[in-house]
């Protein structure tokens, strides 16, 4: 290494993604954005050696996402026996199709030759409009060459926007297990790519992850008799990668795409559960809010209530029937949600149903010691609220026990290594974090409900009769991290609750 910092450039800054559209004079730039991460492409330090004034412009035709790479610099380091400037094309050739390296003039010619009536690959499964425009969702299998081609063009967005994210191996012999959903903004004369999601099918004989159901009865029986079609085999479907590109973020489109995909798989008979691989914090929030918005409108879910007739024991284990377990499991299976996610959304919903006098708000907990003696101090607006009655207190304590019981079970390995007093304290800390997070999410849910209502005012939705074609970073206030922190996060502690499901 030269040690001359002037020859180093931040790869996050050097890379610029541009969305372009053809014009008579060449191309017009519609939007630009930088990647959030480049460590999986240019190395951990996200620095490129050997250039001054380096610009790596990755242009995309906004509709079919045909890529074109333009690399320019003011000065390039003269190679020595020890070091030379990084070969940027070589690095990026691992992530981009060959077509990305064609001459700018060829790129422009190809753009102009794209038929005026071009439509996105796959099958149209849903369309909607809101104040941000008209949108269409297309779905197809990776075995469809047009779907595969689009995926191959945009896959570099995964390492660019998902921490630790890696592209799908397109030569995977199990490629037919991948299904894709593309979100497109439909303009008057063109479609503009807005985001996509990849989903992978797991079959029942594969060992489920920690957060998936493990009981054999979860898997419907099936037979291999007659004309056997793999697409009809019961499966778990896992959301693997989910990206809304920056110009389309913060417009409710991610939530919308997730909800559309979820509804597709609710109708998709072979899918017994829709799961998510390594969700990050932003995705978790989006999914929690979308699941809560949907489930809280379902009568079976609304019927799941805290049984206030249950007496709280002075000592020993928390009761396991605070909410009717059979109704819970029936409802969970019906809505194809993995146990942990279902429990979280139900806990959140039940929290929103607590009497105002005891319902937790966003006040910062002041004293973690107190929780075992009663309500947490994570409550808000206490001055304006009525004094809680004994029934209110009882209901809150049952809710707290419901949450703590789940947290204890999930974090048993780490908590089990602690002395009883310490264990109680740590569980109380994890609980306080979860309670605070639920309060935050419920406030967001309210805000999002208003935004969605405003969108809906200008919206008409039409859903074509279609079924699914075949049918990494992580949580902030999550019990996983909290428990790990609580337990000292040392290597001897087992990871107590998988972040992925
Ligand atoms: C499984 C995995 O792949 S995990 C990785 C997930 N992907 C990534 O992290 C890649 C980079 N990021 C993204 O692709 C996107 O930001 C996503 C997928 C995380 C979220 O997509 P978005 O379209 O931005 O989500 P959406 O707009 O629905 O919600 C984001 C925010 O907009 C708000 N919002 C929701 N609805 C609306 C609406 N109708 N109008 C305006 N804003 C809205 C939400 O409340 C939310 O607010 P917050 O930022 O305070 O949390």
Report pLDDT digits (tens) over 327-353: 999 999 999 999 999 999 999 999 999
Q: Which atom of ligand 1 is nearest to the CA of 248?
A: 23
Q: Is the pLDDT confidence value at 469 over 60? A: no
Lowest mean pLDDT, pick from 88-102, 229-243, 454-468: 454-468
Establish how many alpha carbons lie within 13 A of residue 65's alpha carbon, considering only the half-sphere containing its beta carbon: 27
Q: ipTM strictly over 0.95?
A: yes
Burial class of residue 178 in the structure, from the number of CB atoms within 10 Å of its CB (0-12 exposed, 13-18 middle, 19+ buried): buried
Nearest CA to ligand 1 atom 30: 250
**CB neighbour list of residue 421: distance below 8 Å, 6 or more residues apart:** none
Query: Atom 15 of ligand 1 has which residue's CA nearest to it?
Result: 244
Closest CA to 304 of 289, 326, 274: 326
Segment holding 160, helix H or strand E: helix 157-161
Reduced to 3 states (helix: H, G, I; strand: E, B; else coil), residue 5 is helix
pLDDT confidence of residue 490: 31
pLDDT for residue 471 is more than 50? no
Q: What is the pLDDT of residues 381-402, one digit of tens each?
A: 445 778 999 999 999 999 999 9
- Domain spans in the chain, listed from the N-terminal domain onward: 5-113, 123-207+229-378+388-462
pLDDT at residue 442, as a whole number: 97
Nearest to 103 by CA among 69, 54, 148: 69
Looking from the CA of residue 245, the nearest atom of ligand 1 is 14
Contact 82, 104 (CB under 8 A): no
Q: Which atom belonging to ligand 1 lies closest to the Cα atom of 447?
A: 45
Instruction: Indicate if the pLDDT at residue 218 is higher than 90.
Output: no
- Range 284-311 average pLDDT: 97
**How sure is the predictor about 497, in pLDDT bands with cuts at 50, 70 and 90?**
very low
180 annotated as belonging to a binding site for a ligand: no
Specify the pLDDT at position 370: 43
**147 alpha carbon to ligand 1 midpoint, in Å?**
24
Residue 4 confidence (pLDDT): 54
Task: Supply the DSSP symbol for 336.
Answer: T
Please indicate if the annotation marks 249 as binding a ligand.
yes
Ligand 1 binding pocket includes 452 (Cβ within 6 Å): yes
Residue 474 CA, ligand 1 centroid: distance in Å = 15
Strands 235-244 and 271-276: parallel
Q: What is the pLDDT of residue 397?
A: 96
246 C-alpha vs ligand 1 centroid, how far in Å? 10
* pLDDT, averaged across the chain: 85
Q: pLDDT confidence of 487, banded at 50, 70, 90?
A: very low
Closest by alpha carbon to 56, among 107, 13, 108? 13
pLDDT of residue 359 exceeding 90, the answer is: yes
- Residue 282 CB less than 6 A away from ligand 1: yes
CA 337 to chain centre: 14
CA distance 379 to 115: 59
pLDDT at site 228: 57
Q: Is 50 annotated as a binding residue?
A: no
Question: CA 223 to CA 98: how far, in whole Å?
Answer: 44
At residue 404, the 3 state secondary structure works out as helix
**Looking at 77-86, 248-257, 266-275, 453-462, which range is the least confident one?**
453-462
Residue-wise pLDDT tens digits, 303-323: 999 999 999 887 777 888 999
Closest to 456 in 3D by CA, of 68, 129, 145: 129
The verdict on the CB of residue 255 being under 6 Å from ligand 1 is yes
pLDDT at 31 over 80: yes
157 CB less than 6 Å from ligand 1? no
Give the Cα separation of 439 and 207 in Å (integer). 34
The answer to whether 182 is a known ligand-binding residue is: no
Closest C-alpha residue for ligand 1 atom 35: 252
What's the confidence (pLDDT) of residue 362?
78
Q: What is the DSSP string of 256-314?
A: HHHHHHHHHHHH-TTEEEEEESS--HHHHHHHHHHHHHHHTT-HHHHT----TTPPPPS
Query: Is the distance from the beta carbon of residue 281 to the nearest atom of ligand 1 less than 6 Å?
Result: no
Residue 468 Cβ < 6 Å to ligand 1: no
Mean pLDDT in residue range 53-76: 97
Report the topology of domain 123-207+229-378+388-462.
Answer: Aminopeptidase (3.40.630)
pLDDT reported for residue 296: 97
> What confidence score (pLDDT) does residue 214 get?
47
Q: What is the pLDDT of residue 189?
A: 87
pLDDT score at 413: 86
Q: Which residue has the higher pLDDT, 238 or 464?
A: 238
The C-alpha atoms of residue 155 and residue 159 are separated, in whole angstroms, by: 8
d(CA 322, CA 401): 8
Q: Is 250 in the pocket of ligand 1 (CB under 6 A)?
A: yes
Instruction: Give the atom of ligand 1 at the shortest distance from the alpha carbon of 241.
Output: 3
Q: pLDDT at residue 35 above 60?
A: yes
Our answer to whether residue 90 is catalytic in this structure is no
CB 136 within 8 A of CB 191: yes
CATH number assigned to the domain with residue range 5-113, chosen from the 4 options 3.30.70.260, 3.40.630.10, 3.90.360.10, 2.60.40.10: 3.90.360.10
Determine the distance separating the centroid of ligand 1 and the alpha carbon of 348, expressed in angstroms: 20
**Is 249 near ligand 1, meaning CB less than 6 Å away?**
yes
The answer to whether the annotation marks 357 as part of a ligand binding site is no
Give the Cα separation of 231 and 253 in Å (integer). 29
Task: Kindly tell me if the per-residue pLDDT of 279 is higher than 60.
Answer: yes
Residue 251 annotated as binding site: yes
**Which among 185, 196, 245, 250 is the best mutation to test ligand 1's pocket, defined by most ligand atoms within 8 Å of the CB?**
250
Which has the closest alpha carbon to 41: 160, 154, 150? 160
Helix (H) or strand (E) holding 479: helix 479-486
Say how far apart CA 209 and CA 178 lie, in whole Å. Answer: 19
pLDDT for position 5: 62
Average pLDDT of the residues in 89-108: 97
Q: Which of 277, 281, 329, 368 is catalytic?
A: 277
Q: Tell me: the pLDDT tens digits for 140-181?
A: 999 999 999 999 999 999 999 999 999 999 988 888 899 999
Stated pTM of the model: 0.86
State the maximum Cα–Cα separation within the chain, in Å, rounded to a whole number.
80
Q: What percent of the chain has pLDDT over 70?
A: 80
Atom from ligand 1 closest to the CA of residue 277: 1
Q: Which of 78-82, 164-168, 439-443, 492-496 has the highest mean pLDDT?
A: 439-443
């Amino acid at each position: 290494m030269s040690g001359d910092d002037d020859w180093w450039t931040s790869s996050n800054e050097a890379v610029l993604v541009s969305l372009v559209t053809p014009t008579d004079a060449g191309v017009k730039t519609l939007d630009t954005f930088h990647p959030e991460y480049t460590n999986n492409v240019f190395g951990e330090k996200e620095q490129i050696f050997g250039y001054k004034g380096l610009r790596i412009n990755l242009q995309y035709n906004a509709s079919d996402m045909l890529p074109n790479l333009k690399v320019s610099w003011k000065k390039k380091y003269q190679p020595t026996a020890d070091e030379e400037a990084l070969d940027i094309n070589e690095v990026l050739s691992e992530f981009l199709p060959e077509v990305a390296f064609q001459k700018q003039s060829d790129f422009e010619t190809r753009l102009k030759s794209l038929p005026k009536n071009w439509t996105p690959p796959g099958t149209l499964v849903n369309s909607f409009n809101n104040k941000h425009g008209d949108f269409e969702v297309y779905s197809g299998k990776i075995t469809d060459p047009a779907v595969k081609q689009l995926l191959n063009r945009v896959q570099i967005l995964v390492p660019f926007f998902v921490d630790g994210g890696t592209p799908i191996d397109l030569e995977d012999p199990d490629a037919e297990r991948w299904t894709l959903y593309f979100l497109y903004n439909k303009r008057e004369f063109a479609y503009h790519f807005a985001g996509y999601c990849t989903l992978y099918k797991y079959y029942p004989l594969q060992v489920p992850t920690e957060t998936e159901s493990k009981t054999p009865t979860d898997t419907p029986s099936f037979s291999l008799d007659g004309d056997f079609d793999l697409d009809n085999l019961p499966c778990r479907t896992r959301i693997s990668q989910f990206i809304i590109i920056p110009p389309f973020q913060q417009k409710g489109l991610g939530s919308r795409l997730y909800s559309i995909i979820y509804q597709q798989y609710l109708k998709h008979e072979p899918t017994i559960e829709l799961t998510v691989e390594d969700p990050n914090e932003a995705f978790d929030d989006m999914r929690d809010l979308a699941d809560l918005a949907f489930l809280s409108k379902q009568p079976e879910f609304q019927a799941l209530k805290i049984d206030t007739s249950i007496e709280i024991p002075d000592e020993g284990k928390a009761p396991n029937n605070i909410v009717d377990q059979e109704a819970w499991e029936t409802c969970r299976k019906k809505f194809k949600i993995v146990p942990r996610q279902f429990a979280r959304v139900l806990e959140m919903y039940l929290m929103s149903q607590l009497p105002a006098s005891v319902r937790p708000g966003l006040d910062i907990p002041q004293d973690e010691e107190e929780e075992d003696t009663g309500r947490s101090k994570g409550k808000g607006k206490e001055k304006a609220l009525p004094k809680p009655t004994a029934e209110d207190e009882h209901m809150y304590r049952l809710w707290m026990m419901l949450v703590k019981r789940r947290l204890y079970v999930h974090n048993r390995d780490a908590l089990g290594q602690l002395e009883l007093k310490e264990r109680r304290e740590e569980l109380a800390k994890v609980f306080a974090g979860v309670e605070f997070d639920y309060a935050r999410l419920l406030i967001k849910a309210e805000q999002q409900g208003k935004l969605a209502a405003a969108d809906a005012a200008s919206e008409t939705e039409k859903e074509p009769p279609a079924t699914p074609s075949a049918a990494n970073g992580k949580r902030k206030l999550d019990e996983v991290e909290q428990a790990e922190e609580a337990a000292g996060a040392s290597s001897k502690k087992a990871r107590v609750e998988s972040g992925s499901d």
